[in-house]
A = this chain, B = another copy of it.
């Protein structure tokens, strides 16, 4: 519908806060980023975000809601942020209430990976689907799950943590004591370490910086067999967690985003192979493995769309 209103989407990252105006999944203006490290407490940072919001509203009067994606656990109904590891002073911050009081607009606060999943579901690769799993691969590994046309949040609103699921019950302890967590196998740094070790073992050592995922993709595209082998290994490890999601939830699609997904077919081709080799027909017949539509703007897009839906607007058009 042409009269769908605008919304502000805020992607609150560990180092900076991105704020944009969204219209049906399109970022029509982005404000200058806010550096989180300049703030020692939550309140001044919230006030700074509010100033940015008001600057955008002065230019776009039809803004009806504000959505915020947070890099941490959020109590969805109250919009309380439990704790941020990389930003000072963020423990038990009732962001939804505080920003709502300042801006006098409906505010929705959600985990950033759920925002990414929501963006892909409502505006991206998963449009129209009833069941999907979204995963974002970068420094960390996050995820979001849609079942029966609803975002899965769970009993305490913390569901969807694909990166913390285990692929090896005898693996090393993860961030929460969880042995063999996927994040510790296919995070940016782990891929780099894996490649570094493989080149060294082959007697053709490289600098660490040459082993980063983007560089590794270039090497693989030029036929470097070690680089190709690393992407196959990453795909194999990743396929384990994704296959587990399939056996448990039988989704229509798995949508993969984040920096590591930029490897494209180098990752997706072996991933298709490993995943399909480990599923029975009913689980893979209609299964699609799709690259995410959105990149860095996914958090803003998803937060904005979610905020509009929570404010009562239909975002399925």
Contact = CB atoms under 8 A, between A and B. Distances in A.
A171 B242 CA distance: 16
Given A148-B152, A249-B152, A166 B165 contact: no
B152 A147 contact: yes
Specify which of A73, A150, A174, A250 lies most central, judged by the most chain B CB atoms within 10 Å of its CB: A250
A171 to B, nearest CB: 9
Interface stretch (A22-30, A38-46, A218-226, A274-282): A274-282
A130 interface: yes
Contact of A248 (B82, B131, B159): B159
Interface in A198-218: none
Contacts of A252: 155
Interface stretch (A55-63, A102-110, A175-183, A307-315): A175-183
Interface string A154-192: 111111111011111110001011111000000000000
A236 interface: yes
A109 B170 CA distance: 39
Contacts of A94: none
Interface string A82-96: 100000000000000
B165 A248 contact: yes
B165 A167 contact: no
Contacts of A160: 248
What are the nearest 6 A-B pairs in CB distance? A154-B250, A169-B240, A159-B250, A178-B278, A165-B244, A161-B247
18 contacts: A131-B154, A131-B155, A143-B248, A145-B249, A147-B148, A155-B252, A156-B250, A156-B282, A156-B285, A158-B283, A164-B247, A166-B243, A166-B244, A167-B168, A169-B240, A176-B279, A178-B278, A248-B249
